[in-house]
Amino acid sequence: MNYKTCFHLLLALFIPCFVLCMAMTVRNLNSDQFALLEFKDRIGGPQIVLADNWTASTSVCNWIGVSCGILHKRVIALNLTSMNLRGTIPPHLGNLSFLLSLDLSSNHFYGHLPKELGHLHRLRILQLSYNRLNGEIPSWLGNLQRVRRLEMKNNNFTGTIPETLVNMSNLEILNLGFNQLSGQIPSSIFNSTTLEGIELFNNKLEGNLPPITNAPKLEILALWGNKLRGNIPNSISNASMLKILDLEDNLFSGPIPKTLGNLRHLEWFRIMNNNLITGSATDHEWSFLSSLTNCKNLKTIGVSGNPLSGVLPTYIGNLSKSLQYFYASNCELQGIIPMEIGNITNLLLLQLRHNKLSGFIPASIGGLRNLQALDLSSNKLGGHILESLCDLERLYEMYLGLNKLHGSIPSCLGNITSLRYLYLNSNKLSSTIPSTLWNLKDILEIDLSSNHLQNSHAIDVGNLRSLLKLNLSRNLLSGDILSSFGGLQTLVSLDLSNNILHGYIPKSFDGLISLEFLDLCNNNLSGVIPKSLEKLLYLKYFNVSFNRLEGEIPSKGCFSNFSSTSFMKNYALCGPPRLLVPPCKNDIHKNSQMIILHAFRYGLPTIGIVVVLIVLTIMYKRCRRRSTSLPIKDDLLSLITPRRISHAELSRATNGFEESNMLGSGSFGYVYKGRLSDGMEVAIKVITCCSSVDFKALVLAYMSNGNLEKWLHSENCFLDIIQRVDIMIDVAVAIEHLHNGHPTPIIHCDIKPSNILLDEDMVAHVGDCGVAKLLGEGEVMKQTMTLATIGYIAPEFGSVGIVSIKSDIYSYGIVLIETFTKKKPTDNVFVEEESIRHWMERSLPKGAIEIADVDLLRREDEYIVVKANCISSIMELALNCSAELPEERKDMKDVVVELKKIKQRLLNNIQHF
């Protein structure tokens, strides 16, 4: 065979082989293309990138996200991360048989993993994190024996971690965090010579942490946010390469292993929020810290939220110079903060909040020159705030609140220009606030509340261009300082409450354009609430209660959302009824009574009963038919039983205190008509100006015939003599019942015609126990600041504020006089020297005709003599009731008996004629 023949032979062999190879490549290329086009068809979302790019006319190897092998041109990697793809993963991807890496992370894939992916036996990387895949973690994953990285975190996988994962003998990274996995962790994963990272955080895993039998390469063990319990096994020290150990937020208990020191590479040690304790019961020190001093790369120690108790050892200073973060809040730590803490010189954050640490803040903390966050709040630390803290020139947050620090605020704090959060609240600091603080022009939050701080002069906050929150409440700030706050455009929350500030709320407050929270309550502020504050768009909380403000409450803008508690206890604010303040002068109801402002400013006591109702309504139902056998007593009891009614029900009953339900406004507030859920028609009298959290209302049975006041003094009303006697008997019986019908006598305090209500049958009821007083057992008199209505008040009540049941009897006597004379004790003719009672005393001897209501005794009336005698007797009784000295006044029981006799005499005589 010559070489030519040989060549041809070779050629003949090679060509078919080449063609065959080419054909094979093309066919497989087509199957990859087919699989990917199938895939493309199933995914939606704004997938414009793929739509225009993955086209059959171009080679898959040029498609976006696709990589091919250099020689065989098969798809070896598919990386479609973060392409906003939506859909299920089709089984066709299982045909990409040369695939080494599949990354579909950070899309919106949902549904189960198709089992065909289990055919990808060359696969080394499976990255499906940040999707919405669900279903159980499939056990066929164990078939993918070459996979090194299995990452499926942030999906919605359920079920247990399959035991078959042990077959993934090349696995280095297992990340199944943020799923819904439950059950136990298979112990096999801690017997792996390949695993470097086990991240199963934020699932619902239970049971104990299996022993770490073989984990020579394990660097990351992140199991936080599960329900793992039991001890942290000492075998953890077998994972000698461990860098990150995060067991936070589980139910681990028992001692913290002392073997942690074997973990020489440990950088990150977090066991926060478990039930762990220190080494041993006898060991009062944190011995685990001793072992951690061996970990020279340690950056983070987080042990907060474990009932460790014990004290911080002095060898804390031996902790690695690399330590940056030390979290030990909520650990029941006792004792002092050792000064050696100052040796951890690279610390960035020191958090010892909410422990029982006592003693002083060691000066050595000032040596932690890199410190950015210092939180020692909520301990029992005493002493002064040392100037050495001002050396912390990189400090960003200083939280020293809720301790027992006293003395002054060092003025050098104003030199820590990096400071953004300064909390010194709830201590015993007593200096003036150093003006240097107001030089911290980039500070965001300052809370100096609940101390004894003063201000030497105006507070010059004008430079604080970034300030978000300022709380200076509960101090001793005084003077007229508000004007300097107006320019703080970034301020969101301002609390100056509970100081002794005076002066006006400046108009410039409308410049606090970011404000959401403003509390100025409990100061001595006067003047009006500037209407321009309506412009504060974001204001959600506003409180100016307990000041001396007056004038109209702004009603527009943010003010339409504030409730009465924002304004209570001021000097003379007025506004809409909703705010439980009197109406402003120009919209007072024509027929409303004049408001006795003084009674109401200084009068009402600040009794602290929560929400609602006082009592009272119907005291006595007159028996119309004079039948003596009526079960009066039971009737009385059921009617008089006080009950609490919630603000919500009252609000419902009145359609949210709607104006159309308003019957009128009276001396102490507004009266609404409403219907309770049980159907009872009621009048609701809302009483303003009580102590801060209270809402008080009187709920009265609604009386269709109005009150005695109206019947006596209105043009078109007339009561005959028998009606008047009946009414006064009803009233006497009711008062008698108030005084004697309860274990604790009730003093009404405000008996007057407008409080005597008439129902549809003209039966009288004593209403409005607005100022009613309960007398304790055996207590006869009660000192009070309450003022009842002038003219009806007993002398001892008006002058020295002593009330007793005798004061009610006096008032009753006066009403008795008014009822039959139609003269009001408040008439101008009755001045101090000559009260209505003096007038009666003087005039009665002249005969009833001289004094009685002219409509009652007409000369042409055939019964005029009988009636005159009746009225005379009643007036005598009235004088006995209203005797100057309380002890000389008649008892209400006797009054009832006598009145009934007088009535009987009258009826007998009229019938005899």
Ligand X SMILES: *[C@@H]1O[C@H](CO)[C@@H](O)[C@H](O)[C@H]1NC(C)=O
Which residues define the annotated binding site for ATP?
685
As a whole number of angstroms, the distance between CA 302 and CA 323 comes to 11
Q: How far is CA 859 from CA 395, 454, 854, 862, 864, in A?
A: 97, 78, 9, 8, 7
Would you count residue 431 as binding ligand X (CB under 6 A)? Answer: no
As a whole number of angstroms, the distance between CA 501 and CA 523 comes to 5
As a whole number of angstroms, the distance between CA 68 and CA 328 comes to 52
- Give strand ranges (E) for 729-781: 746-747, 756-758, 764-766, 773-774
DSSP, collapsed to helix, strand or coil, labels residue 311 as strand
Residue in the block written with tokens 């000698």: 240
Question: Least separation, in Å, of the C-beta of 418 and ligand X?
Answer: 13
Kindly write out the interface string for residues 285-324 of this chain, putting x where it contacts ligand X by CB under 6 A and - elsewhere.
Answer: --------------------------------x-------
Q: What is residue 211's DSSP assignment?
A: P
808-837 residues near ligand X, rule: CB under 6 A: none
> Catalytic site residue 283?
no
Would you count residue 253 as binding ligand X (CB under 6 A)? Answer: no
Instruction: Give the length of the chain.
Output: 913
Question: Least separation, in Å, of the C-beta of 618 and ligand X?
Answer: 57
Number of residues that bind ligand X (CB under 6 A): 38
Would you count residue 31 as binding ligand X (CB under 6 A)? Answer: yes
> Of 58 and 145, which CB lies nearer to ligand X in the complex structure?
58
As a whole number of angstroms, the distance between CA 310 and CA 316 comes to 13
Residue in the block written with tokens 């100057």: 884
> Of 150 and 775, which CB lies nearer to ligand X in the complex structure?
150
Question: Least separation, in Å, of the C-beta of 239 and ligand X?
Answer: 14
**Catalytic pick from 391, 750, 808, 853?**
750
Q: Which stretch binds ligand X (CB under 6 A): 57-65, 472-480, 778-786, 858-866?
A: 57-65
Would you count residue 415 as binding ligand X (CB under 6 A)? Answer: yes
Q: Of the candidates 6, 9, 21, 64, which one interacts with ligand X according to CB under 6 A?
A: 64
Question: Least separation, in Å, of the C-beta of 196 and ligand X?
Answer: 16
Report DSSP letters for 111-154, one per residue: EPPPGGGGG-TT--EEE--SSEEEEEPPGGGGG-TT--EEE--S
As a whole number of angstroms, the distance between CA 346 and CA 324 comes to 6
Would you count residue 51 as binding ligand X (CB under 6 A)? Answer: no
Angle of CA points 832, 834, 838, to nearest 5°: 130
> Of 127 and 238, which CB lies nearer to ligand X in the complex structure?
127
Q: Of the candidates 37, 42, 73, 91, which one interacts with ligand X according to CB under 6 A?
A: 91
As a whole number of angstroms, the distance between CA 697 and CA 694 comes to 10
Residues 49, 52, 54, 55: what is their CA dihedral angle, to the nearest 10 degrees? 180
Question: Least separation, in Å, of the C-beta of 417 and ligand X?
Answer: 9
> Of 92 and 748, which CB lies nearer to ligand X in the complex structure?
92
317-376 residues near ligand X, rule: CB under 6 A: 317, 342-343, 364, 367
Would you count residue 411 as binding ligand X (CB under 6 A)? Answer: yes
> Of 412 and 701, which CB lies nearer to ligand X in the complex structure?
412
Would you count residue 395 as binding ligand X (CB under 6 A)? Answer: no
Question: Least separation, in Å, of the C-beta of 253 and ligand X?
Answer: 25
Q: Of the candidates 58, 59, 561, 908, which one interacts with ligand X according to CB under 6 A?
A: 58
Q: Which stretch binds ligand X (CB under 6 A): 53-61, 257-265, 741-749, 885-893?
A: 53-61
- Residue 548 and residue 526 in contact, taking contact as beta carbons nearer than 8 Å: yes
Would you count residue 213 as binding ligand X (CB under 6 A)? Answer: yes
Q: What is the amino acid identity at position 361?
A: I
Q: What is the amino acid identity at position 347?
A: L
> Of 173 and 902, which CB lies nearer to ligand X in the complex structure?
173
Q: Which stretch binds ligand X (CB under 6 A): 94-102, 565-573, 574-582, 807-815?
A: 94-102
> Of 79 and 240, which CB lies nearer to ligand X in the complex structure?
79
552-591 residues near ligand X, rule: CB under 6 A: none
Q: Which stretch binds ligand X (CB under 6 A): 11-19, 30-38, 592-600, 750-758?
A: 30-38
- Residue 748 and residue 727 in contact, taking contact as beta carbons nearer than 8 Å: no
Binding residues: 685
Radius of gyration of the chain from its Cα atoms, rounded to whole angstroms: 43
* Beta-carbon contacts of residue 254 (< 8 Å; ≥ 6 apart): 230, 231, 232, 276, 277
Q: Which stretch binds ligand X (CB under 6 A): 29-37, 328-336, 710-718, 903-911?
A: 29-37
Would you count residue 94 as binding ligand X (CB under 6 A)? Answer: yes
160-199 residues near ligand X, rule: CB under 6 A: 180, 191
What percentage of the chain's residues is helix, strand, coil (to nearest 5)? 30, 20, 50
Question: Least separation, in Å, of the C-beta of 578 and ligand X?
Answer: 42
Question: Least separation, in Å, of the C-beta of 563 and ligand X?
Answer: 38
Calculate the CA 335 to chain-centre distance.
Answer: 34
By DSSP bridging, strand 75-79 and strand 101-103 are parallel
Q: Which stretch binds ligand X (CB under 6 A): 67-75, 91-99, 252-260, 776-784?
A: 91-99
As a whole number of angstroms, the distance between CA 840 and CA 815 comes to 12
> Of 64 and 251, which CB lies nearer to ligand X in the complex structure?
64
> Of 95 and 566, which CB lies nearer to ligand X in the complex structure?
95
Question: Least separation, in Å, of the C-beta of 455 and ligand X?
Answer: 19
Give the residue closest to ligand X by C-beta: 412
User: Whose CA is closest to 711, among 722, 720, 702?
Assistant: 720
Helices (H), 611-746: 632-640, 647-653, 708-713, 721-740
Other C-beta atoms lying within 10 Å of the C-beta of residue 684: 26
Q: How far is CA 329 from CA 322, 374, 383, in A?
A: 21, 12, 21
Residue in the block written with tokens 């002493």: 383
- Residue 347 and residue 368 in contact, taking contact as beta carbons nearer than 8 Å: yes
Q: Which stretch binds ligand X (CB under 6 A): 49-57, 517-525, 526-534, 883-891?
A: 49-57
Would you count residue 79 as binding ligand X (CB under 6 A)? Answer: yes
Residue 76, both tokens: 């070896």
> Of 130 and 668, which CB lies nearer to ligand X in the complex structure?
130
Q: Which residues bind ligand X (CB under 6 A)?
A: 31, 34-35, 52-53, 55, 58, 62-64, 79, 81, 91-92, 94-95, 101, 103, 116, 125, 127, 132, 134, 156, 158, 180, 191, 213-214, 317, 342-343, 364, 367, 390, 411-412, 415
Tell me the catalytic residues: 750
